């Protein structure tokens, strides 16, 4: 044995007692973030000998610090960025002192990588914002402070770095602090601490520097070790988003998840947020035996006294203080994708353990991160922040983000690329949803259809301008009418003269155009009609949205597949000629994309047979599938 075991006991006991602080560092390019983290790791004696010798070797090869050790090289991990000298992603570092354990998220200062900063901020309690003393408060500094505040970080350290390069000037430091305070006034941070330091030379990093006698505050590490960031989550109302229903056999049914806030004990009454059903907790089950109590942050499995219907996505909650349940809410949204946000397009929202389809029903305003002012806008581009109303396809249980990150923070996922495109922070639910109830009607769609001797359906014709959609749709409608069927034809051009006269041809407007037509078609379908829709409808997402508004067997997608050259040659309305000469912007096929269907029920190739034969094929399909 190397050490007396009482020494070990004490060591382990000390480890147990240490609290964890998760913080992120952010700053502009070359502010010295990586150097600062490297310095913290180095000075807190956490570097191993082999890491250190590799570092010394690297410093000579890549370093920018001359003969000295370049601490930044310790932190920058990826080959490409090491050569460019910029951090381009979030990197996590771990170190510990006698008082605390730390997880550092190192996030980039580059403007286009703001989304990474949001990622780092989402799990941090404190942010260290670096400022180059020579440059002062920059646009990025403001952006970083705003994002930190938006993501609910309540504690800020303003690290005024490279103070050695301005001769340790108190005036410069004071000016920067005043400048920042003016901006941060509206950001509601609980604590703000400004520290003059030099990461390169170690001034005020681990211990107070004699070069800044005018500075009376603590060194950075002192502050990080002692700042109180305890959140009130454990004292909040009980919330447990159900992650997994545990059913090893017929006798056991447990609901597993991580407690998002509050506490729970056996015997407590709980409610299922969405259904409102009430039960009582019987056991808190773990492998090491049942627990007398569980609190925020614990991963547990609960069993209930009654056979209530609970599945993944449900939230178990305090009976008296329940979360909001609504299908509409207002939230801040940070956009994180190259492709811009399209209001009215359907995305997937994932909050805690629930995933539901969602659309942005209104973009109330964008936020100018430099002035915190409000701007009007129709879409959000990469790294832009907006305040939006959201509309969900089914109700969701949530709390405001400021009360609980787990219950109020969500991501948006693109339905086709599956990428994470946005991060949202819920502000409050919109009451409208709770008050407008669906009216259950006695005469329904099936009955109306039966009276007309048909099965209602939407025939959705999609294809390029001039492909022959309207011609064929017309022929189909005439044939149906001749058989005594009840139909209605919605044509792109005609609808744009009335219902959609306020819409243009930008991507955002095209999406809204199709949304309205989809909803209109749905109403006609409900009336028992066979609805023919003849729209270019160039985007897959919106056709899918229209499809999902109605039942699976009520939507027939017909792809009128005519090559672009043929359409241009036909050019029945002279539109291609105008578009080519620049007279029309955003023309599908010319300077706006057409995404052909992947799973259309029918594909019509107009170059292979005349329109009459094609219309006949469609009618045959309707008969085969028992629509008529």
Partner 1 sequence: MREVAAEFVNPVMLYSIGKDSSVMLHLAMKAFFPAKPPFPLMHVDTAWKFREMIAFRDQTAKRLGLELIVHVNEDGVKRGINPFDSGSSLHTQVMKTESLKQALDRHGFDAAFGGARRDEEKSRAKERIFSFRNRHHGWDPKNQRPELWRVYNTRINKGESIRVFPLSNWTELDIWQYILAENIPIVPLYFAAKRPVVERGGTLIMRDDDRMALLPGEQVQERLVRFRTLGCYPLTGAIESDADTLEAIVTEMFTARTSERQGRLIDGDEKASMEKKKNEGYF
Question: Which of the residues 366 through 405 are near partner 1 (CB under 8 A)?
Answer: 405
Residue 343 as a binder of partner 1 (CB under 8 A): the answer is no
Residue 50 as a binder of partner 1 (CB under 8 A): the answer is yes
Q: Which residues are CB-neighbours of 125 under 8 A, at least 6 positions away? A: 21, 22, 23, 153, 154, 155, 229, 231
Alpha carbon dihedral 339, 344, 350, 355, in 10-degree steps, equals: -130
Contact 306, 312 (CB under 8 A): no
Residue 230 as a binder of partner 1 (CB under 8 A): the answer is no
Residue 352 as a binder of partner 1 (CB under 8 A): the answer is yes
First to last CA, the chain: 87
Residue 456 as a binder of partner 1 (CB under 8 A): the answer is no
Three-class secondary structure assignment of 64-86:
CCCCCCCCHHHHCCCHHHHHHCC
The rounded distance, in Å, linking the Cα atoms of 163 and 228 is 27
3-state helix, strand, coil in the chain (%, to 5): 30, 25, 40
Q: Which of 29, 43, 82, 566 binds partner 1 (CB under 8 A)?
A: 82
Task: Encode burial over 34-54: b for 16+ CB neighbours within 10 A, e otherwise.
Answer: bbbbbbbbbbbeebeeeeeee
Contact stretch for partner 1 (CB under 8 A) within 184-192, 286-294, 472-480, 542-550: 286-294
Q: Which of 36, 40, 72, 91 binds partner 1 (CB under 8 A)?
A: 91
The rounded distance, in Å, linking the Cα atoms of 75 and 97 is 19
Residue 409 as a binder of partner 1 (CB under 8 A): the answer is yes
Contact stretch for partner 1 (CB under 8 A) within 130-138, 381-389, 406-414, 526-534: 406-414
The rounded distance, in Å, linking the Cα atoms of 263 and 233 is 9
Residue 406 as a binder of partner 1 (CB under 8 A): the answer is yes
Residue 246 as a binder of partner 1 (CB under 8 A): the answer is yes
Q: Which of 29, 88, 305, 611 binds partner 1 (CB under 8 A)?
A: 88
Strand order in the sheet with 457-462: 487-491, 530-534, 457-462, 555-560, 602-604
Give the residues across from 476 on adjacent strands: none
Q: E-assigned strands of 506-596?
A: 530-534, 555-560
Min dist. Cβ of residue 162 to partner 1 (A): 25
Q: Which of 123, 361, 506, 520 binds partner 1 (CB under 8 A)?
A: 123
Q: Which of 537, 541, 581, 592 is catalytic?
A: 537
Residue 336 as a binder of partner 1 (CB under 8 A): the answer is yes
* Residue number, 287 or 376, with CB nearest to partner 1: 287
Residue 253 as a binder of partner 1 (CB under 8 A): the answer is no
Contact 59, 70 (CB under 8 A): yes
* Residue number, 58 or 616, with CB nearest to partner 1: 58
Residue 244 as a binder of partner 1 (CB under 8 A): the answer is yes
Annotation says 467 is catalytic = no
Contact residues for partner 1 (CB under 8 A)?
1-3, 5, 7-8, 11-12, 15, 48-51, 75-80, 82, 88-94, 96, 103, 115-116, 118-119, 122-123, 243-244, 246-248, 252, 254, 256-258, 285-288, 299, 301, 312, 336, 348, 350-353, 405-406, 409-411, 413, 418-420, 423
């Amino acid at each position: 044995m190397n050490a007396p075991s009482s020494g070990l006991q004490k060591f382990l006991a000390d480890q147990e007692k240490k609290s964890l602080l998760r913080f992120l560092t952010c700053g502009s390019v070359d502010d010295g973030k990586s150097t600062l983290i490297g310095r913290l790791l180095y000075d807190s004696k956490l570097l191993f000998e082999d890491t250190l010798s590799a570092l010394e070797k690297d410093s000579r090869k890549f370093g920018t610090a001359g003969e000295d050790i370049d601490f930044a090289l310790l932190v920058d991990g990826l080959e490409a960025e090491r050569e460019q000298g910029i951090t381009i992603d979030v990197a996590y570092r771990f170190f510990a002192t006698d008082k605390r354990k730390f997880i550092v998220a190192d996030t980039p200062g580059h403007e286009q990588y703001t989304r990474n900063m949001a990622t780092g901020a989402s799990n941090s309690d404190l942010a260290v914002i670096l400022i180059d003393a020579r440059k002062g408060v920059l646009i990025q500094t403001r952006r970083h402070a705003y994002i930190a505040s938006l993501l609910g970080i309540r504690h800020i350290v303003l690290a005024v770095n490279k103070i050695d390069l301005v001769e340790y000037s108190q005036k410069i430091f004071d000016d920067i602090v005043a400048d920042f305070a003016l901006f941060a006034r509206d950001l509601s941070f609980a604590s703000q601490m400004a520290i003059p330091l030099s990461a390169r030379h170690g001034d005020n990093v681990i211990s107070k520097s004699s070069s800044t006698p005018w500075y009376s505050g603590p060194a950075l590490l002192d502050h990080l070790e002692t700042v109180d960031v305890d959140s009130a989550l454990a004292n909040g109302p009980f919330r447990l988003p159900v992650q997994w229903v545990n059913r090893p056999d017929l006798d056991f049914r447990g609901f597993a998840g991580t407690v998002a806030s509050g506490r729970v004990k056996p015997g407590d009454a709980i409610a299922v947020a969405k259904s409102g059903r009430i039960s009582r907790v019987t056991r808190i089950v773990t492998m090491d035996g049942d627990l007398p109590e569980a609190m925020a942050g614990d991963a547990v499995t609960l069993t209930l006294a009654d056979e209530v219907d609970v599945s993944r996505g449900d939230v178990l909650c305090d009976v008296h203080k329940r979360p909001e349940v609504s299908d509409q809410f207002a939230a801040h949204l940070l956009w994180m994708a190259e492709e811009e946000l399209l209001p009215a397009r359907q995305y997937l929202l994932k909050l805690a353990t629930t995933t539901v389809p969602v659309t942005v029903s209104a973009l109330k305003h964008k936020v100018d991160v430099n002035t915190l002012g409000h701007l009007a806008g129709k879409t959000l581009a990469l790294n832009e922040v907006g305040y939006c109303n959201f509309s969900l396809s089914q109700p969701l249980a949530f709390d405001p983000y400021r009360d609980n990150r787990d219950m109020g923070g969500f991501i948006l996922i693109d339905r086709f690329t599956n990428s994470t495109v946005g991060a949202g922070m819920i502000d409050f639910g919109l009451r409208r949803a709770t008050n407008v109830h669906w009216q259950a009607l006695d005469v329904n769609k099936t009955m109306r259809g039966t009276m007309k001797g048909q099965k209602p359906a939407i025939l959705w014709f999609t294809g390029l301008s001039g492909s022959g959609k309207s011609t064929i749709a017309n022929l189909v409608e005439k044939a149906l009418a001749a058989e005594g069927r009840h139909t209605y034809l919605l044509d792109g051009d005609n609808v744009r003269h009335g219902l959609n006269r306020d819409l243009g041809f930008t991507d955002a407007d095209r999406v809204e155009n199709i949304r309205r037509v989809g909803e209109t078609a749905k109403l006609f379908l409900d009336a028992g009609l066979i609805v023919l829709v003849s729209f270019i409808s160039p985007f897959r997402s919106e056709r899918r949205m229209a499809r999902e508004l109605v039942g699976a067997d009520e939507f027939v997608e017909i792809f009128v597949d005519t090559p672009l050259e043929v359409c241009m040659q036909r050019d029945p309305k002279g539109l291609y000629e105008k578009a080519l000469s620049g007279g029309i912007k955003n023309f599908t096929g010319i300077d706006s994309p057409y995404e052909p269907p992947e799973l259309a029920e029918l594909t019509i190739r107009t170059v292979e047979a005349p329109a009459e034969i094609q219309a006949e094929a469609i009618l045959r399909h309707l008969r085969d599938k028992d629509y008529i």
